[in-house]
Amino acid sequence: MKFLFDLFPILLFFGAYSYTNDIFLATGVTIAATFAQVAYSWIRHRHVDKMLWMSLVLITVMGGLTIVFHNKQFIMWKPTVLYWLFTLVLVGAWHLKQNNLIEKLMGAQMNLPRPIWTRLMYAWALFFLAMGALNIFVFHSFDEAIWVKFKVFGTLVLTLVFVVAQSVYLSKHIQPEEKD
């Protein structure tokens, strides 16, 4: 259910764009949907995840600039900005404070040796870096409709492939839980 909740704005973006072929209208729908996500999360849980706040700020700023200046480049750059921000946060937290955010996020689910957690963090950082670059390539090389499809389906498939590959790699390194 959380997976669908997280995809809510992007699915509405795709639906609005598919129905109207208007990226500006679709952007406005996405901004409204993200505000609705934040409101729902606050009302339901009295808490909003940091990632959702970051997404709200980025979609509001980049989407707002898209609508105000009637320039689709802003919304097309948004995924790259988000991916590269993730890269900076992951690598920055590690190099500044030896804080592995991937381990913090997933550490309760599995027990891995420290070097594997570090490799995993760098793998995610490189994945986000590559996804940002790929987004730039797609929006410069193809038309708007192809970029919209890539944004929704291409990034989802690539992320799924990455997670499956990561799972295969991790399955070789998971250590049994230590009993008290």
pLDDT by residue (tens digit) across 76-127?
999 999 999 999 999 999 999 988 898 898 878 888 888 999 999 999 999 9
Q: What pLDDT, on the 0 to 100 scale, is given for residue 5?
A: 79
CB 30 within 8 A of CB 13: yes
Q: What pLDDT, on the 0 to 100 scale, is given for residue 3?
A: 66
CA distances from 49 to 3, 39, 55, 103, 173 (A): 14, 12, 10, 17, 29
Distance (Å, rounded) from C-alpha 101 to C-alpha 99? 6
Q: Buried b / exposed e across 8-25, counting CB within 10 Å, b at 16+?
A: ebbebbbebbeeeeebbe
pLDDT tens-digit profile of 15-27?
A: 999 999 999 999 9
* Mean pLDDT along residues 123-142: 98
Orientation of helix 50-69 relative to helix 73-97, angle to 10°: 150
DSSP 64-80: HHHHHHT-THHHHHHHH
Q: What pLDDT, on the 0 to 100 scale, is given for residue 113?
A: 86
CB 155 within 8 A of CB 131: yes
- Indicate whether 68 pLDDT > 80: yes
CB 152 within 8 A of CB 138: no
CB atoms within 10 A of CB 119: 16
Q: What pLDDT, on the 0 to 100 scale, is given for residue 18?
A: 97
Distance (Å, rounded) from C-alpha 65 to C-alpha 59? 9
pTM here is 0.87
